[in-house]
Each structure stands twice: as structure tokens, then as C-alpha cells.
């Protein structure tokens, strides 16, 4: 579950705190992996279908503002 309403670009590295520069097209249902652009440490994001729906909703809300 997502801790609050967030967009794909809000995901940050747990080690250094920098943004992971993800877009909604970079994230999928299940497990998404990659490397932090700043410290090169691997990250894993696990999302279910409801989480993806919430991300899409937040992205649409952000575009309307």
C-alpha cells in the first residue's frame, strides 16, 4: 500500500534520499527494480493493482492543476 497519495516521480532512494526519476510508464503491477541515479544502489518497488490505480489518479490530478 502507498503511504499517502503520491505520483511516480515521488519515489525516492531509501539510502541517499534522491528522487528515482520514475514515470508512470516505468512502474508495473508486481515488482519494479532498478538503480538509484545518484548512488547506484538497487531499489525494488512492489505495487498491487490498487496502488497503480492510485498512482494513475494522482498523475491525472497533477496534470489538471
Q: 24: number of CA atoms within 13 Å, CB side? A: 14
For the stretch 7-60, pLDDT in tens is 999 999 999 999 999 999 999 999 999 999 999 999 999 999 999 999 999 888
Cβ neighbours of residue 48 under 8 Å, at least 6 residues apart? 1, 29
CA 26 – CA 38 distance, rounded (Å): 18
Using pLDDT thresholds of 50, 70 and 90, give the confidence band for residue 5.
Answer: confident
Amino acid at each position: 500500500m502507498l503511504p499517502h497519495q503520491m505520483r511516480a516521480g515521488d519515489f525516492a532512494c531509501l539510502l541517499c534520499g534522491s528522487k528515482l526519476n520514475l514515470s508512470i510508464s516505468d512502474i508495473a503491477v508486481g515488482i519494479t527494480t532498478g538503480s538509484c541515479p545518484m548512488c547506484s544502489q538497487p531499489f525494488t518497488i512492489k505495487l498491487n493493482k490498487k496502488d497503480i490505480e492510485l498512482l494513475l489518479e494522482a498523475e491525472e490530478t497533477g496534470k489538471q492543476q
